[in-house]
Amino acid sequence: MTIYTALSIFLLAGLAISQPTVLSKNDGIPYGAFPSSASSASLPSATPITSSNAHLGRAVVVNHCQTPVYIWSVGSTVRSPATVRPGNRHSETFRHDAATGGIALKISTVSDGLYTSAPLTIFAYNLNGQQVWYDLSDVFGDPFKGHSVVVSPAEPELSWANGVPPSGSHVRVSDASTDLVLTLC
């Protein structure tokens, strides 16, 4: 294991248990968009688009469950939750958080699950130049137990047939222009 891989695992694990500042819808940041130049200087900035990273991929969550899921995008701040109804999807363009190094999409089946220690599935990513390192994990239980949880594309495969993560590392790396799709149920 390289030192970079070990550092990436450490950063992604830290995102899973962090308790950052919460942003409300009144903070002038449209959900799913990068902060604008008019936003507060304390907010993390988006990864600049240059000719070398002109097309960034997205983290996509597809809800095939029978009930809504709730998603918080967490870095050094927490964006307002997105409610994803059955049959719908949520996506955000990969971005870099200078303070934490990565972003964690924390997913619950409970509307206030982020704040009540409800079981969470965490789809975390760390944008690093032309690569995105990503991980999938559960904390406080397994909110999708009994249902499939799959990230694609992923090599090796990242699939939990019964919604419970197997033991071991689930960190993967992909080209930053690739959309990573987490399908629930």
Write the CA distances from 7 to 2, 10, 127, 180, integer angstroms. 9, 5, 13, 21
Residue 50 lies in a domain: no
Query: Which domain does 105 fall in, by range?
Result: 3-23+55-184
Note the pLDDT of residue 67. 97
Q: Tell if the pTM clears 0.75, that is, is over it.
A: no
For the ranges 16-20, 35-39, 95-99, which has the lowest average pLDDT?
A: 35-39
Inform me whether the pLDDT recorded for 124 exceeds 80: yes
Residue 29 lies in a domain: no
Residue 61 lies in a domain: yes
Taking the CA atoms of 149, 11, 78 and 40 in sequence, report the sign of the dihedral they define. Answer: negative
Inform me whether the pLDDT recorded for 179 exceeds 60: yes
Amino acid at 94: F
Q: What is the mean pLDDT of residues 64-83?
A: 96
Which CATH number characterizes residue 161's domain?
Answer: 2.60.110
Inform me whether the pLDDT recorded for 150 exceeds 60: yes
End-to-end CA distance of the chain: 33
Residue 42 lies in a domain: no
**Across the chain, what does the average pLDDT equal?**
79
Q: What residues contact residue 96 under an 8 Å CB cut-off, 6+ apart?
A: 44, 45, 46, 47, 102, 126, 127, 128
Note the pLDDT of residue 42. 35
Nearest residue to 55 via CA among 93, 92, 90: 93
Inform me whether the pLDDT recorded for 5 exceeds 70: no
| Distance separating alpha carbons of residues 90 and 163, to the nearest angstrom | 19
Three-state DSSP state, 63: strand
Residue 47 lies in a domain: no
Inform me whether the pLDDT recorded for 81 exceeds 60: yes
Q: How many domains does the chain have?
A: 1
